């Protein structure tokens, strides 16, 4: 039996797969354009001079791009302090919430104990509560602890708002792990907790990443609580700093606002790029090829 016969068939299959892939790529790029267009619009506006922004006919890309809006934004009071504050708050919130939530999620998903169901219901119940009603009572509590105008107060607030979400979601990811993989780990007689740590974590890593990105972005962009708690202009986060662009009673500096927003998006993208490698982009264990 000659070995030549299968090759043309294999080549046809390979070509079909390539064309299929090309078609999917086109679709993917089309989706990219639609999804990212508002971002493009924001960034392109940031580079336009003021008269172009307000002109009757919209322009795709500026004919005379300018960096003036960025310079103005950075020159506004407290810019770098505010960047530092936002990074501190979000960093602390992401680390703390992921650790605390992961512990709780493991307990809820892996252990049978009285109060398990009750705690799960409590978690989802807090998620269902409209936050508007909590603002002032929460402020009163923080004032009693002496944490208003302090970054710590905001960290605790974000933690408490995002913990239920993180617990709920991580529990789901852990529950989704196929039993076979767990049982394989138990066989070698290691302690339950040790097995969880060694086997569980790599498997839920993509879930951890997705959840942590959500927490990062939510905490980064959170405005309502930050605005009420951090009343001191020298100790605020970027979302509050951003609100000064559109909070005057006079004309709004759209170019400045778009430039400022573009700047605030940068750390998010950096964070994502750092962690995205864990979501199966190149991960060998568990990559799907449907």
Q: Is 239 among the residues that bind another protein (CB under 8 A)?
A: yes
CA distances for 95 relative to 15, 37, 61, 204, 211, angstroms = 47, 32, 39, 16, 11
Q: Is 146 left (phi over 0), alpha (psi -120 to 50) or beta?
A: left
Q: Is 250 among the residues that bind another protein (CB under 8 A)?
A: yes
User: Closest distance between another protein and the C-beta of residue 67, in Å?
Assistant: 19
Tokens representing 83 are 């960047």
State which of residues 11, 71, 176, 183 lies at the interface with another protein (CB under 8 A): 176
Q: Is 185 among the residues that bind another protein (CB under 8 A)?
A: no
State which of residues 68, 72, 185, 217 lies at the interface with another protein (CB under 8 A): 217
Q: Is 186 among the residues that bind another protein (CB under 8 A)?
A: no
Nearer to another protein, 4 or 6 (CB): 6
Q: Is 10 among the residues that bind another protein (CB under 8 A)?
A: no
User: Closest distance between another protein and the C-beta of residue 135, in Å?
Assistant: 7
| 3-class SS letters over the chain | CCCCCHHHHHHHHHHHHHHHHHHHHHHHHHHHHHHHHHHHHHHHHHCCCHHHHCCCCCCCCCCCCCCHHHHHHHHCCCHHHHHHHHHHHHHHHHHHHHHHHHHHHHHHHHCCCCCHHHHHHHHHHHHHCCHHHHHHHHHHHHHHHCCCCCHHHHHHHHHHHHHHHHHHHHHHHHHCCCHHHHHHHHCCCCCHHHHHHHHHHHHHHHHHHHHHHHHHHHHHHCCHHHHHHCCCHHHCCHHHHHHHHHCCCCCCCHHHHHHHHHHHHHHHHHHHHHHHHHCCCCCCCCCCCC
Number of residues that bind another protein (CB under 8 A): 152
User: Closest distance between another protein and the C-beta of residue 4, in Å?
Assistant: 25
Q: Which stretch binds another protein (CB under 8 A): 3-11, 52-60, 64-72?
A: 52-60
Within residues 81-140, the interface with another protein by CB under 8 A covers 88-89, 91-92, 95-96, 99-101, 103-104, 106-113, 115-117, 119-122, 124-130, 132-140
Dihedral sign of CA atoms 232, 233, 235, 240 in order: positive
Q: Is 227 among the residues that bind another protein (CB under 8 A)?
A: yes
Determine whether 213 is exposed, middle or buried from the number of CB atoms within 10 Å of its CB (0-12, 13-18, 19+). Answer: middle
User: Closest distance between another protein and the C-beta of residue 149, in Å?
Assistant: 7
Nearer to another protein, 11 or 18 (CB): 18
Q: Is 232 among the residues that bind another protein (CB under 8 A)?
A: yes
Within residues 146-165, the interface with another protein by CB under 8 A covers 148-153, 155-157, 159-160, 163-165
User: Closest distance between another protein and the C-beta of residue 87, in Å?
Assistant: 11
Q: Is 213 among the residues that bind another protein (CB under 8 A)?
A: yes
User: Closest distance between another protein and the C-beta of residue 2, in Å?
Assistant: 26
Q: Is 263 among the residues that bind another protein (CB under 8 A)?
A: no
User: Closest distance between another protein and the C-beta of residue 227, in Å?
Assistant: 5
Within residues 55-74, the interface with another protein by CB under 8 A covers 55-58
Q: Is 221 among the residues that bind another protein (CB under 8 A)?
A: yes
């Amino acid at each position: 039996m000659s070995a030549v016969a299968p090759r043309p068939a294999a080549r046809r299959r390979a070509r079909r797969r390539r064309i299929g892939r090309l078609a999917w790529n086109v679709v993917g790029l089309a989706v990219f354009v639609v999804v990212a267009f508002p971002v493009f619009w924001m960034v392109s506006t940031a580079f336009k001079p003021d008269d172009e922004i307000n002109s009757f006919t919209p322009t795709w890309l500026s004919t005379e791009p300018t960096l003036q809006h960025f310079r103005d934004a950075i020159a506004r009071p407290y810019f770098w302090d505010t960047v530092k504050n936002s990074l501190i708050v979000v960093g602390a919130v992401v680390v703390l919430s992921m650790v605390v939530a992961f512990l709780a999620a493991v307990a809820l998903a892996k252990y049978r104990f009285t109060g398990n169901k009750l705690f799960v219901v409590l978690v989802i119940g807090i998620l269902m509560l409209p936050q508007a009603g909590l603002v002032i009572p929460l402020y009163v509590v923080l004032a009693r602890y002496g944490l208003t105008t302090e970054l710590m107060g905001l960290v605790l607030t974000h933690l408490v708002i995002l913990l239920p979400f993180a617990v709920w979601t991580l529990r789901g990811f852990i529950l989704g792990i196929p039993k076979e993989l767990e049982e394989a780990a138990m066989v070698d007689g290691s302690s339950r907790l040790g097995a969880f740590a060694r086997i569980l974590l790599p498997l839920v890593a993509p879930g951890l990443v997705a959840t942590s990105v959500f927490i990062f972005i939510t905490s980064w962009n959170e405005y309502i609580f930050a605005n009420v708690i951090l009343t001191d202009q020298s100790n605020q986060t970027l979302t509050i700093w951003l609100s000064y662009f559109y909070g005057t009673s006079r004309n709004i500096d759209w170019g400045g606002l778009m430039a400022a927003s573009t700047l605030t998006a940068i750390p998010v993208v950096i964070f994502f790029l750092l962690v995205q490698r864990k979501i199966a982009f190149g991960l060998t264990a568990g990559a799907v090829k449907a």
